[in-house]
Every structure is written in C-alpha cells, then in structure tokens.
Chains A and B, each alone.
Chain A
Amino acid sequence: EVQLLESGGGLVQPGGSLRLSCAASGLTFNSYVMTWVRQAPGKGLEWVSSISTTGGTAYYADSVRGRFAISRDSSKNTLYLQMNSLRAEDTAVYYCAKGLNVDGSAFSYAMDVWGQGTTVTVSS
C-alpha cells in the first residue's frame, strides 16, 4: 500500500521558517512527480509546488515563489518543503501528494495518493 506521511508543521512567527517532510512508502518514489497542496482554514485547495521525478526541476505558485523551496531525497524516499519568510496567509494544512502517471505528462500532476496533512500556523 502506498502511504505518504507528512511532518514538520507547527506554530511559527511571521518571518520565520519551517521545513515540512513527507515520507513515502510502498512506491518507487523516484518514478513520480510529487506535489505540495495547501488548504487554508475553511478554504479550498491551492497548489503550492511540484517537483520532477529527478528533483532537477521545481515549480512554484506565484504566492510562494522565492520564499519556499521543494526538494526530494530518493535515498530516503522523502519529499521536503522549506518555507521561509512565512506570512499569516501561509497558515494552512499542507498536503503532499503523488502524481497519477509516471510519464511526466499532464496527469502526472493529478494526484492519486495524498498524505494526511500537516498544519502550519503563522502567528505572533
């Protein structure tokens, strides 16, 4: 069974940093695009960032570009999200998710397995 387990969330002051982790099991980790999606309290889903299978290419939403960095470690089957210069509007549940397809095409960015989410709260 494919499983994703996020960790690293918590309470942080504005301007602070956090690193989220997503440990993957039950899959060939480096075959799939991996993505972070967030959901602010009472709001909808927002794409944050995706990373290619090799880790060589990363993509970001405008709202986080320049502040967040996605990475992956295939030796540890783990996805990361380094979040710097955090703002109140970054408060959300952050989900990691696995791409549906292995070929890097469009549906590699649809997500068929999701973690349980980790909560990030940015507040003074």
Chain B
Amino acid sequence: DIQLTQSPSFLSASVGDRVTITCRASQGISSYLAWYQQKPGKAPKLLIYAASTLQSRVPSRFSGGGSGTEFTLTISSLQPEDFATYYCQQVNSYPFITFGQGTRLEIK
C-alpha cells in the first residue's frame, strides 16, 4: 500500500499569511495526487488534482506542486474561509486509493 504522510498535522496561522502543507508518498506516484478541503460537519471539497491543476471555481490563491514522492499545497494569502482541514489523496494505485492523515489549519 502507498502511504501518504502530511506535515504538519496542525498549523496555526493568521489571515493574510502564506502557508504550505506537504504530503509525502511512501513510493513514487508521479503526479497522481489530489488535495481536498474539509470544514467541520461538511463533506470534503476537491481543490486540486494531478498535483497542480486547480479544480473549477477554486480560488487562485490555492496552488499545488510537486511530483514523485513530495507534494505541496500552498495558500498564498489566507482568508477566513480557508481555516479547515486539508487532505491529500493518491490515485496512482487506483482503484486502491489512500488519503493522508490530514492537516488542520487554525486561526492564530
């Protein structure tokens, strides 16, 4: 199984900050990675797929990068609505997909 490890697990930041979340895969997965945002009590929302392709109607302050085993999700200027939990997902070994453990982003 391909394991995904996100860092940090918890992040405290302020509105306007630039933040980066990292997702590391236990083996190379090319660009077969997606990122999701989840707010409390809500379903996840797809933000980015193919490591760096922004999903429709997702604000451009979100960006993704990386390939192989190391990936990043960057929010260029945090907005109040961005405080949430973020998950990476690998689809390289589809249909046996896996998620990272999540990164909780909170207001400082």
| Closest Cβ neighbor of A112 among chain B residues | B46
Q: Which of A37, A109, A115, A117: most chain B Cβ within 10 A? A: A109
A residues whose Cβ falls under 8 Å from a Cβ of B: 33, 37, 44-47, 50, 59, 61, 95, 97, 100, 105-112, 114-117
Instruction: From known contacts A110-B49, A112-B55, infer whether A47 and B97 are also in contact, taking CB-CB under 8 Å.
Output: yes
The number of chain B residues with a CB under 8 A from chain A is 24
- Residue pair B46, A111 in contact (C-beta under 8 Å): yes
* A112 to B43 alpha-carbon distance, docked (Å): 11
Give chain A nearest CB distance to B67 CB in angstroms. Answer: 14
B102 beta carbon closer than 8 Å to chain A: yes
Which residue of chain A has its CB nearest to the CB of B98?
A: A47
Residues of B within 8 A of A111 (CB): 44, 46
Expressed in whole angstroms, the Cα–Cα distance for A37 and B34 within the complex equals 15
Asked if B99 and A107 sit within 8 Å, CB to CB, the answer is no
Whether the pair A110, B102 counts as a contact (CB closer than 8 A) is no
Contact B91 A107 (CB under 8 A): yes
Neighbour of B50 across the interface among A107, A112, A114, CB < 8 A: A107
Contact B99 A100 (CB under 8 A): no
Chain A residue at minimal CB-CB distance from B43: A114
Check if B44 sits within 8 Å of A114, measured CB to CB.
yes
Interface of A is mostly: mixed
B49 in contact with A100 (CB, 8 Å): yes
Question: Do B96 and A110 touch across chains, with their CB atoms under 8 A apart?
Answer: no
Complex Cα spacing A115 to B91, Å: 20
**Chain B residues, Cβ within 8 Å of A59:** 95-96
Known contacts: A44-B102, A45-B87, A100-B49. The answer to whether A109 contacts B95 by CB under 8 A is yes
Q: Top 3 nearest A-B pairs by Cβ distance?
A: A114-B43, A59-B95, A109-B94
**Is B64 among interface residues, defined by CB-CB distance under 8 A?**
no
Contact in complex: A109, B101 (CB < 8 Å) = no
Contacts of B25-56 to chain A: CB distance below 8 A: 32, 34, 36, 38, 43-46, 49-50, 55
Interfacial chain A residues near B3, Cβ < 8 Å: none
Chain A residue numbers with a CB within 8 Å of B98 are: 47
Pick the most buried of A46, A59, A107: most chain B CB atoms within 10 A of its CB: A107
Q: Is the CB of A45 within 8 A of B99?
A: yes
